[in-house]
């Protein structure tokens, strides 16, 4: 496109200069000494502007025109040559007339070609004279309006201006004209099909070599599509459900959307020009040691405290992004109210806790059994020790062995109680590094009695080097508890040989560990596969149907995935992954 514009511009320049030469020759022949504003009105004055002036006045043409220096040099040389020739000719009118004939002969029809080039320009071009009246419109203009040159001439063009834009448009035109100043204005002009289109009109005053004002030349581009795109952007910006602020590089507010007004309780005009830190005091402060503001505009979200107009504070998530509009650099701040999110998180945790209580309640009998074993062992060992102590002589070695067993059984009972208490107690999550194999072993140990009662064998298979994941142990245990109990329950109707659950820990690439809980139970129907992760979906008379949805939530907040597949032979396998943070 720019090559086409350059070619048009160069062509315009070349032909205009030549046209200028012809005109000057003609005028001299008619007795005029030099080009000025008072020349004959047979041709519009602006038609006598040089090619480079017109090219310069039309955005996109001037630079390309000048840039083509090779052609420019040729033209400049021709012009200088002509100027010298003209100086000589003023002393010799007969030689002048010969020169004029030579130019006209060598460049036949050049004026027509000049006009053809103006008509071929990719923009709408107009020219006005010193009285503000328009004297020329190129073909793209006439094609656009569907009117004749005669209709548009003078003030005729203004009939097509949208009535709502007319006064503003006229004021800009008249005031710029009188001040001889460049102007750019946007207005709607009626197209030939009756539709109004937005034009960006750029007018530039023109003077001749002596500085005499010749009128204006202007060019228009249809910016309707651009304005529509801008309008869409503005609407999207305005109605986005998050607060968005455009800041200058010093952190002052340049633009805000409606949600910002609503969230902070300020009106727009109270915010524009103010520092963004009046809303979020830490917004422009880097938590890292880097003092550069660019360090903040990484798009990473930060949890900060915001302040409303009434002084109340609330938690927000704030992101800063650098936005470049050509030369202009701005900062886009996105602020999301976290109050609801924090509430939701709290509710989720409460629900998870209630679900845990429910699960643990269902396991009360097996926990009692699990505790009963070490307690019974402790009792019988204590009785044996008593008998040994009463004997004569006392077999101290045997007594020591018995006491050691009692300590071990006590430790086992304490471990069960600790495990139960950890799962039942209501506490805030405590994130730390854990070996997933250790978490799995703890849960399997807790369920040992339940598994024995059901006649289920549980095996744990850990492949690869030990790893660590980062998370809350209680939550991770809740996931395992749920998956193992589901597997146990799915095998309720199975023959005893099939009652096996295998827990397989493998590496899924260098950064992820995968846990698979495989059973030989009923498996999952197609419908179940689609539904079981939704809350309150259960096939069990006493089930809440929350286990899997809570487990998936936990795994996802730990950065992993939880899904289920049917085994090819029998039963189902539930998988979950977790990111590895460190090797154990």
Ligand X SMILES: Nc1ncnc2c1ncn2[C@@H]1O[C@H](COP(=O)(O)OP(=O)(O)OP(=O)(O)O)[C@@H](O)[C@H]1O
The residues near 56 (Cβ < 8 Å, ≥ 6 apart) are 62, 65, 204
Tell me how far apart the alpha carbons of residues 185 and 181 are, in angstroms, rounded to a whole number: 13
- Using the minimum distance from each CB to ligand X, give the nearer residue, 40 or 525: 525
- Using the minimum distance from each CB to Mg ion, give the nearer residue, 357 or 581: 357
Q: How far is the CB of 543 from ligand X (least distance, A)?
A: 3
Q: How far is the CB of 513 from ligand X (least distance, A)?
A: 21
By a kind-dependent CB cut-off of 5 to 8 A, residue 490 interacts, out of ligand X, Mg ion, none, with ligand X
The residues near 140 (Cβ < 8 Å, ≥ 6 apart) are 119, 121, 122, 123, 124, 125
Enclosing H/E stretch for 183:
strand 183-190
- Using the minimum distance from each CB to ligand X, give the nearer residue, 385 or 494: 494
Tell me how far apart the alpha carbons of residues 56 and 250 are, in angstroms, rounded to a whole number: 36
CB contact at 8 A, 158 and 166: yes
Task: Identify which of 492, 574, 575 has the alpha carbon closest to the alpha carbon of residue 540.
Answer: 492
DSSP state at residue 161: B
Size of the site for Mg ion (CB under 5 A): 3
Tell me how far apart the alpha carbons of residues 226 and 199 are, in angstroms, rounded to a whole number: 10
Q: How far is the CB of 349 from ligand X (least distance, A)?
A: 16
Residue nearest to ligand X (CB): 547
By a kind-dependent CB cut-off of 5 to 8 A, residue 35 interacts, out of ligand X, Mg ion, none, with none
Q: How far is the CB of 547 from Mg ion (least distance, A)?
A: 3
Q: Is 109 left (phi over 0), alpha (psi -120 to 50) or beta?
A: left
Q: Which of residues 467-486 bind Mg ion (CB under 5 A)?
A: 482, 486
- Using the minimum distance from each CB to ligand X, give the nearer residue, 217 or 501: 501
* Structure tokens, 26: 């003609």
- Using the minimum distance from each CB to ligand X, give the nearer residue, 137 or 488: 488
Among 44, 218, 521, 547, binds Mg ion (CB under 5 A): 547
Which residues contact ligand X (rule: CB under 6 A)?
355, 482, 486-487, 490, 519, 521-522, 524, 528, 532, 537-540, 543-548, 572
**b (16+ CB within 10 A) / e for 243-277:** bbbbbeeebbbebbbebbbebbebeeeebeeeebe
Q: How far is the CB of 521 from ligand X (least distance, A)?
A: 5
* Secondary structure class of 115 (helix, strand, coil): helix
By a kind-dependent CB cut-off of 5 to 8 A, residue 544 interacts, out of Mg ion, ligand X, none, with ligand X
* Structure tokens, 423: 């799962």
Q: How far is the CB of 542 from ligand X (least distance, A)?
A: 7
Tell me how far apart the alpha carbons of residues 181 and 205 are, in angstroms, rounded to a whole number: 6
* Structure tokens, 439: 């978490």
- Using the minimum distance from each CB to ligand X, give the nearer residue, 12 or 562: 562
Residue nearest to Mg ion (CB): 547
- Using the minimum distance from each CB to Mg ion, give the nearer residue, 48 or 499: 499
- Using the minimum distance from each CB to Mg ion, give the nearer residue, 333 or 443: 443
Tell me how far apart the alpha carbons of residues 219 and 8 are, in angstroms, rounded to a whole number: 15
Q: How far is the CB of 552 from ligand X (least distance, A)?
A: 9
Of the ranges 164-172, 285-293, 330-338, 539-547, which one interacts with Mg ion (CB under 5 A)?
A: 539-547
- Using the minimum distance from each CB to ligand X, give the nearer residue, 297 or 482: 482
By a kind-dependent CB cut-off of 5 to 8 A, residue 284 interacts, out of Mg ion, ligand X, none, with none
By a kind-dependent CB cut-off of 5 to 8 A, residue 524 interacts, out of Mg ion, ligand X, none, with ligand X
Query: Torsions phi, psi of 244, nearest 5?
Result: -125, 130
Enclosing H/E stretch for 572:
strand 572-583
Question: Which x/- pattern, by CB under 5 A, does the window 257-286 give for Mg ion?
Answer: ------------------------------
Q: Is 553 in the site for Mg ion (CB under 5 A)?
A: no
Q: Which of residues 125-184 bind Mg ion (CB under 5 A)?
A: none
Residues within the interface to Mg ion (CB under 5 A) = 482, 486, 547
């Amino acid at each position: 496109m720019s090559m086409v514009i350059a070619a048009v511009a160069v062509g315009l320049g070349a032909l205009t200069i030549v046209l200028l030469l012809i005109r000057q020759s003609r005028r001299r022949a008619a007795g005029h000494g030099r080009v000025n504003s008072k020349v004959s009105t047979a041709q519009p004055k602006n038609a006598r502007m040089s090619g480079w002036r017109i090219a310069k006045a039309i955005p996109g043409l001037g630079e390309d025109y000048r840039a083509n220096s090779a052609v420019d040099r040729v033209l400049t040389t021709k012009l200088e040559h002509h100027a010298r020739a003209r100086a000589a000719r003023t002393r010799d009118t007969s030689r002048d007339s010969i020169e004029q004939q030579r130019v006209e002969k060598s460049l036949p029809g050049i004026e027509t070609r000049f006009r053809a080039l103006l008509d071929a320009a990719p923009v709408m071009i107009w020219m006005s004279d010193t009285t503000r009246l328009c004297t020329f419109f190129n073909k793209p203009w006439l094609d656009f309006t569907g009117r004749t040159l005669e209709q548009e001439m003078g003030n005729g063009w203004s009939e097509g201006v949208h009535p709502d834009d007319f006064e503003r448009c006229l004021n800009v035109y008249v005031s710029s004209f009188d001040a001889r100043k460049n102007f750019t204005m946007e207005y709607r002009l009626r197209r030939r099909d009756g539709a109004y289109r937005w034009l960006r009109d750029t007018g530039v005053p023109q003077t001749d070599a002596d500085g005499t004002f010749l009128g204006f030349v202007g060019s228009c581009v249809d910016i309707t599509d651009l304005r529509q795109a801008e309008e869409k952007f503005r609407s999207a910006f305005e109605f986005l459900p998050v607060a968005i602020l455009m800041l200058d590089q010093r952190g002052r507010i340049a633009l805000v959307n409606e949600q910002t007004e609503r969230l902070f309780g300020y009106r727009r005009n109270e915010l524009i020009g103010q520092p963004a830190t009046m809303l979020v005091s830490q917004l422009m402060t880097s938590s890292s040691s880097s003092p550069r503001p660019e360090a903040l505009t990484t798009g990473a979200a930060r949890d900060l405290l915001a302040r409303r107009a009434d002084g109340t504070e609330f938690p927000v998530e704030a992101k800063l992004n650098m936005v470049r509009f050509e030369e202009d650099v701005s900062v886009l701040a996105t602020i999301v109210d976290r109050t609801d999110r924090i509430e939701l998180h709290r509710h989720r945790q409460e629900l998870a806790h209630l679900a845990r209580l429910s699960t643990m309640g269902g396991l009360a009998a097996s926990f009692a059994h699990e505790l009963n074993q070490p307690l019974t062992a402790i009792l019988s060992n204590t009785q044996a020790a008593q008998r040994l102590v009463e004997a004569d002589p006392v077999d101290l070695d045997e007594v020591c062995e018995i006491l050691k067993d009692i300590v071990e059984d006590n430790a086992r009972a304490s471990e069960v109680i600790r495990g139960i208490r950890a799962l039942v107690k209501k506490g805030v999550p405590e994130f730390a590094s854990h070996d997933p194999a250790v978490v799995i072993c703890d849960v399997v140990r807790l369920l040992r009695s339940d598994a024995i009662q059901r006649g289920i064998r549980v095996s744990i298979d850990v492949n690869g080097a030990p790893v660590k994941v980062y998370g809350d142990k209680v939550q991770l245990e809740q996931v395992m508890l749920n998956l193992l109990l589901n597997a146990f329950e799915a095998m309720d109707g199975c023959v005893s040989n099939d009652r096996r659950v295998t827990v397989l820990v493998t590496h899924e690439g260098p950064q992820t560990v995968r846990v698979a809980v495989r059973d030989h139970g009923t498996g999952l129907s197609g419908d179940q596969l689609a539904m079981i992760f939704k809350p309150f979906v259960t096939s069990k008379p006493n089930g809440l149907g929350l286990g899997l949805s809570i487990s998936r939530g936990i795994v996802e907040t730990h950065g992993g995935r939880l899904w289920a597949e049917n085994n090819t032979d029998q039963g189902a396998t539930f998988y979950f992954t977790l990111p590895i943070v460190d090797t154990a």
